[in-house]
Structure 1
Amino acid sequence: MSKPGNHNRKVALVTGASVGLGEAIAERLAQEGYDLILLARRQDKLEALAARLSTNCHIIACDICDQDAVTKSIEDLPPAFANIELLVNNAGLALGLGPAQNVSWEDWSRMIEVNCTGLAFMTHLLLPGMVERNAGHIINIGSIAGSYAYFGGNVYGATKAFVEQFSRNLKADLLGTALRVTNIEPGMVGGSEFSLVRFKGDEDKVKATYENADALTPEHIADCVAWAATRPANVNINRIEVMPVCQAPERLAIHRAKS
């Protein structure tokens, strides 16, 4: 499903666009004048979002990890959506919050597959066209978990450290082009399905996570995306780390043996 595009308008592709951060980012980019390619698994949610947006939209309903489906969807884009100027690699997830020795391999594998492989594959698909046109901006949604270790973060934190280093290395490789690369690293964000997915539907754990905490909202992160994307063409925002006031980096933990 797509609304007709306009060859004269900028095109942005947002992954994980159906809910939470992705939905808010899509809404904000529509306000900034972008036509949108919305990619996520749930077609019904994508259709509802596209119907609300005051811009031209093209929907791709597939798993970011289905490389064949993603490739075909990009190859088959309508001409008005083909020249993607902004890629927002937002799709990602956390699974579990237990010590590494207790976490299932399936959870680890899925986080690596989505947060690292899916993000890298989408970038690999679109980057050559951006370089050929000498125009484009890649915004990756990382996490403060990529910078600050915490109990239970294990592979999730490692995947976000990958996003940070991948972003820096992309920028190094793109020196001499007009392309820009930004990594946005949110702290605690409420109002999305992030913790519901992490805790596998346990709403009590979700409630406890945000109880009495004035967390960021998806709209705050969408604001960061829009700000980075709308800087003058010669300005590259390398990294944005953003936390709610109620959050701060913790000191190193120390285990004290009983005497």
Structure 2
Amino acid sequence: MSDEARHLADLCNRHEGLDLPLNLEQTGAGPEGHTNQFFFRETGSLLGVLTLDGEMNPEVCLAVHPDHRRKGIGRALLKAGVDECRRRGSPEALLVCEERSQSGNAFANALGAAYRYSEFRMVLDGRAWPGPSHAPAGQGALPLRPAGLEDADLLAHIIATSFRKPVEGEHRRVARDLASPNHRSYVAFAGGDSVGSVGVVTAGGRTYIIALGVLPQHRGRGYGRRMLAAIIADLLAAGRTEIFIEVAAENRSALALYRACGFREITSYGFYALTTS
């Protein structure tokens, strides 16, 4: 990501006290020539950026320079992003707006976008982290094996099954992630069986725990908690202290787990559906 785009994102964040979820780490074309970033320039200056995250029904994040809003820049970028989604064959896109952003929510309302759901962004409070031994006897941190390209099919299967997503789209995402120097994936095994997976992304000095999933047939055995304990312990041992995770607001069980492991909510995002037809 260019320093110019990061500067624009930081400027927008400071202007409204936000934590925009721009997917600025993915540069260039994605799989099959998919474009994930769009920029609006005027007289050589970067005034707006839009990013897409995901293959089908991708998440759309948008930032426009505070001094250049209400000039059609956001709509122009959004049209380009929606056109890209249509070209991919995606029936809709999900516009992401931080819920405390007055300008973002006004933009979503002006578009007539339909609200779908909300997510919390949480940060690890090191003082509240109970440590990897915070589990029933004999159920400490579950060992995780780093995944390589040879694990792409297994990872795609675990993620697609755990999150009820099309496996084809997850194959493309996994291939992209495994090729990224900022992304690491892990598979958890118990009794010789693969039970789940988790990913770690580093971006802008932060570390994000993503796609923590347990296969349905292995749920209810504490594997999710043990996987989370293992990855947190590894990250802290590596000197990573800014650790984040995101969770759907209605996922009460996951929210309770993350709180028990020392995470606390810092902001929330609304997701609004935009049809591409």
Could you tell me the TM-score, scaled by structure 2's length? 0.26
Q: Could you say which structure has the higher helix fraction?
A: 1
Q: Could you say which structure has the higher strand fraction?
A: 2
Could you tell me the TM-score, scaled by structure 1's length? 0.27
Q: Give the number of the structure with larger relative contact order, counting CA–CA contacts within 8 Å between residues 6 or more apart.
A: 2
